[in-house]
A and B are shown apart, each in its own frame.
Chain A
């Protein structure tokens, strides 16, 4: 019997979260080290003033088994962050929106 799409996606995660050949890096959360994918793209914040603020949008993607809760502290590349929003994607991964701690 052929694997379901969800099973195929889950199987693909192993390669994606391979520290050597995948995209993941080791980060430190409340329960210790785990593999996750970090991005921190440029973002221009706008709070209604006439000028924006240069900023970034730190996001950490992990497997559901390593998902953290809102308010959790996580260290990435020696920088401390706090989880402000937890967004499971329903396909085995959870996206965490972060802010500087």
Chain B
């Protein structure tokens, strides 16, 4: 059975695909370096999953804690003009946040907004800019059965 975390990560990836800024250049859990033809783009990561027992429910003989999944959606832009990079990263942030709060991911029942950080690196042949957007996706699954939602 698929872990709900995988289901949610896939749903977030689908939600942020085909934005006008990044199109279909959306990569799940990307590890290999990005190449010139892949900008601007988004990379989607599920980085941490923290159970919370204060609001747990007990049903069907199982404990169902709330789980807070830390999703990172990172935008990458490469250009020779730093102001273009900042403007594009802000537009990406606007589109990603709007999309995620419009369509709550499958398997989840809530989303909260986390920190958003922009960083610039200008050592290469063009300037690289990134924005790291953190969203906490809230879902519930039983202890020992992370593929089943309540």
A interface, CB within 8 angstroms of B? 40, 43-58, 82, 84, 98-101
A49: contacting residue among B124, B125, B126, B130, CB under 8 A: B130
| Interchain Cβ contacts under 8 Å between A and B, 29 examples | A40-B125, A44-B33, A45-B78, A45-B121, A45-B124, A45-B128, A46-B128, A47-B120, A49-B74, A49-B119, A49-B130, A50-B31, A50-B43, A51-B33, A51-B34, A51-B43, A54-B33, A54-B35, A55-B126, A55-B128, A56-B124, A57-B123, A57-B124, A57-B125, A82-B80, A99-B125, A99-B126, A100-B80, A100-B126
How big is the B interface, by class? Answer: 20 to 34
**B105 interface contact, C-beta 8 A:** no
Which residues of chain A come closer than 8 Å to B3, judged between CB atoms?
none
Contacting pair B132 A55 (CB below 8 A)? no
User: Count the A-B residue pairs with Cβ separation under 8 angstroms: how many?
Assistant: 82
- Tell me whether B24 is interfacial, beta carbon within 8 Å: no
Contacts of B126 in A (CB 8 A): 55, 99-100
Give chain B residues whose Cβ lies under 8 Å from the Cβ of A84: 122
Chain B residues at the A interface, C-beta cutoff of 8 Å = 30-36, 39, 43, 45, 72, 74, 76, 78, 80, 117, 119-130, 132
Taking a contact as CB atoms closer than 8 A, the residue among A47, A48, A100 that contacts B125 in the complex is A100
Q: Is the interface of B mostly helix, strand, loop or mixed?
A: strand
Asked whether A51 lies within 8 Å of B80 as measured between CB atoms, the reply is no
Taking the closest CB of chain B, its distance from the CB of A90, in whole angstroms, is: 23
Assess whether A47 is in contact with B128, with CB atoms less than 8 Å apart: yes
Query: In the complex, which residues of chain A have a beta carbon less than 8 angstroms from the beta carbon of B122?
Result: 84, 99
Complex contacts, B30 vs chain A, CB 8 Å: 50-51
Contacts of A46 in B (CB 8 A): 121, 128
Interface of A is mostly: strand
Q: Are B33 and A53 in contact (CB under 8 A)?
A: yes
Given known A-B contacts A98-B125, A100-B125, A53 and B117 have beta carbons under 8 A apart: no
For A48, list chain B residues within 8 Å (CB). 117, 119, 121, 130, 132
Q: Which residues of B contact A47 (CB under 8 A)?
A: 76, 119-121, 128-130
Which of chain A's residues have a CB closer than 8 A to the CB of B78?
45, 53, 55
Residues of B within 8 A of A99 (CB): 80, 122, 124-127
Q: For the complex, what is the distance from the CA of A84 to the CA of B119, rounded to whole Å?
A: 19
